[in-house]
Amino acid sequence: MKLATMKDIKEALEAIREVNDPFILELEKDERKGAQKLLEAWKKRIEKEEKLHHHFLSMNHYEQIIRKQGYTYIAGIDEVGRGPLAGPVVTAAVILPEDFYLPGIDDSKKLSEKKRELFYEVIQKEAIAIGVGIISPAEIDRINIYQATKKGMLLAINELSQTPDYLLIDAMKLTTPYPSQSLIKGDSKSVSIAAASIIAKVTRDHMMKELHQEYPEYHFATNMGYGTQEHLAALKEYGITIHHRKSFSPVKEMVENN
Q: Any long-range contacts for 213-222 (C-beta under 8 Å, 24+ apart)?
A: 215/241, 215/243, 218/86, 220/86, 220/87
Binding residues for a divalent metal cation: 78-79, 170
Binding residues: 78-79, 170
Tell me if residue 209 falls in helix, strand or coil: helix
Q: How many CB atoms lie within 10 A of CB 67?
A: 14
Say if CB 2 and CB 32 are below 8 A apart. Answer: yes
- Per the CB < 8 A criterion, the answer to whether 152 and 91 are in contact is yes
Bridge-based pairing state of the strands 129-135 and 180-183: unpaired
The answer for residues whose C-beta is within 8 angstroms of residue 195's C-beta and 6 or more apart is: 76, 94, 96, 102, 105, 119, 123, 127
Q: How many CB atoms lie within 10 A of CB 82?
A: 12
Task: State the Cα–Cα distance between residues 29 and 250, nearest whole angstrom.
Answer: 66
Phi first, then psi: give them for residue 180, nearest 5 degrees: -150, 165
Q: How many residues in total does the chain contain? A: 258
